[in-house]
């Protein structure tokens, strides 16, 4: 994409999702034990950016409200166009007028995760309508090396993240993971689907909602897949999952050759996407 092109803002309406389950309440975890999934979509209270992805016994629980659209094509467009940091405003219901911001998105049929202040979120319910000022797809800052692709990120948020221009773009991350830890999301479009990390609480590495993560040998320009000597950076947008092949998910924001993106692992001091950056405090 030409660096001179201006990003376009499109207001889109989403509806706060209601969780859905099938006739059986059970899913089956990696050890074959049935469990009832809690927190998989809709309005989830009690967790926020900065919390450990392992702090709750949920399944893909995200910090905020998940938006969808009743029309399948409109739902895909909503998810594809929304970018992390986009402003959102509640249009209906008890929290009408409340401001939020896009934290990330999830795949399958697609949903947008929008963060709100806890007091606003507590007044929201499934069916509430939320308008999002979608902006960012196609944007690339002038300083970004031509071989690096940016996606899923509001242009105004980039400068606030721990991303530093240079011969190689230096990015502070909580952890650098090998590609074999990539799970659900492989083979799916990075603009509309998150990439689950096959990490559990027993792996000895803590990860927090909002953390930036680097995954090596994964190319996320189009579909996500294996490419040697490549690296992709994502924002941690939802919590862990008992499902095999699933786990905490990242929404990709940067991808490029290893020579052009240099992740710096800050296990203890890393700060990625926070409520302060999104003005949700």
Partner 1 sequence: MKAVTNAERLVTQVLTGEVWPALADRHGCRIGPDGQPFVLPGMGGVTLGVHCGDPATGYAADHLEPGASVRHADPAANMAVQFLTCVGNQVTVASGPARGLVGHVIGQHAYVLVDFAEAAAARLTTGDAVTINAIGQGLRLADHPSIVVKNCSPGLLELMPGGTTADGRLEVHVAARIPAEAVGAGVGMISEYANTDLMGAYESLGADLSLGLESLRVGDIVAIADQDHRYGRGYRPGYLTIGVICTGQCMLFGHGPGPSTLLSGPADAFRLVDDPAANLSSWLHNQGRAEQ
Residues binding partner 1 (CB under 8 A): 28-32, 178-188, 196, 198, 217, 219, 221-230, 243-246
CB of 32 to partner 1, least distance (A): 5
CB of 243 to partner 1, least distance (A): 6
> Which residues lie below 8 Å from residue 86, measured CB to CB, with a gap of 6+?
101, 102, 132, 133, 134, 135, 136, 154
The number of residues in the chain equals 281
CB of 50 to partner 1, least distance (A): 26
Closer residue to partner 1 (CB): 81 or 230: 230
Closer residue to partner 1 (CB): 65 or 195: 195
CB of 228 to partner 1, least distance (A): 4
User: What is the rounded CA–CA span in Å between residue 61 and residue 210?
Assistant: 13
Q: Report which DSSP code applies to 120.
A: H
Closer residue to partner 1 (CB): 29 or 89: 29
CB of 105 to partner 1, least distance (A): 17
Alpha carbon of 42 to those of 1, 146, 218, 249, 279: distances in Å?
35, 38, 30, 16, 22
Task: Tell me which residue has tokens 């034990």.
Answer: 33
Closer residue to partner 1 (CB): 157 or 213: 213
CB of 70 to partner 1, least distance (A): 20
Closer residue to partner 1 (CB): 214 or 278: 214
CB of 244 to partner 1, least distance (A): 3
CA 107 to chain centre: 10
Closer residue to partner 1 (CB): 46 or 200: 200
Closer residue to partner 1 (CB): 75 or 181: 181
CB of 198 to partner 1, least distance (A): 4
**H/E segment holding residue 281:** none
> Which residues lie below 8 Å from residue 42, measured CB to CB, with a gap of 6+?
16, 17, 18, 19, 65, 66, 126
- Strands of the sheet containing 169-173, edge to edge, are 163-164, 169-173, 261-265
Q: Residue 203: which of 180, 219, 186, 225 has the closest Cα? A: 180
Closer residue to partner 1 (CB): 115 or 185: 185
DSSP sequence for 218-246:
EE-SSB-EEEEEEEEEEEEEE---SSTT-
């Amino acid at each position: 994409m030409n660096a001179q092109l201006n990003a376009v803002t499109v207001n889109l309406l989403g509806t706060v999702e209601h969780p859905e389950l099938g006739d059986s309440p059970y899913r089956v975890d990696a050890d074959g034990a049935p469990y009832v999934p809690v927190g998989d979509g809709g309005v989830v209270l009690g967790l926020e950016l900065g919390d450990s992805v392992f702090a709750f016994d949920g399944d893909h629980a995200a910090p905020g409200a998940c938006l969808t659209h009743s029309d399948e094509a409109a739902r895909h467009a909503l998810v594809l166009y929304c970018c992390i940091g986009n402003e959102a405003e509640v249009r209906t219901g008890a929290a009408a007028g409340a401001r939020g911001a896009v934290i990330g998105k999830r795949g399958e049929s697609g949903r947008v995760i929008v963060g709100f202040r806890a007091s606003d979120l507590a007044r929201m319910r499934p069916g509430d309508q939320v308008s999002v000022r979608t902006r960012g797809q196609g944007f690339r800052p002038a300083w970004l090396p031509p071989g690096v692709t940016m996606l899923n990120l509001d242009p105004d948020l980039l400068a606030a993240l721990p991303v530093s221009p240079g011969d190689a773009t230096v990015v502070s991350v909580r952890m650098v993971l090998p590609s074999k830890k990539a799970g659900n999301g492989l083979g799916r479009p990075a603009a509309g689907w998150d990439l689950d990390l096959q990490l559990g609480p027993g792996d000895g590495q803590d990860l927090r909602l909002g953390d930036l993560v680097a995954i090596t040998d994964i190319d996320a320009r189009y579909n996500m897949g294996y490419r040697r000597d490549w690296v992709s950076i994502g924002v941690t947008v939802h919590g862990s999952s008992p499902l095999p092949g699933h786990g905490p998910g990242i929404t990709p924001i940067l991808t490029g050759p290893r020579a052009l993106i240099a992740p710096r692992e800050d296990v203890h001091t890393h700060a990625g996407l926070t409520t302060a950056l999104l003005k949700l405090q």
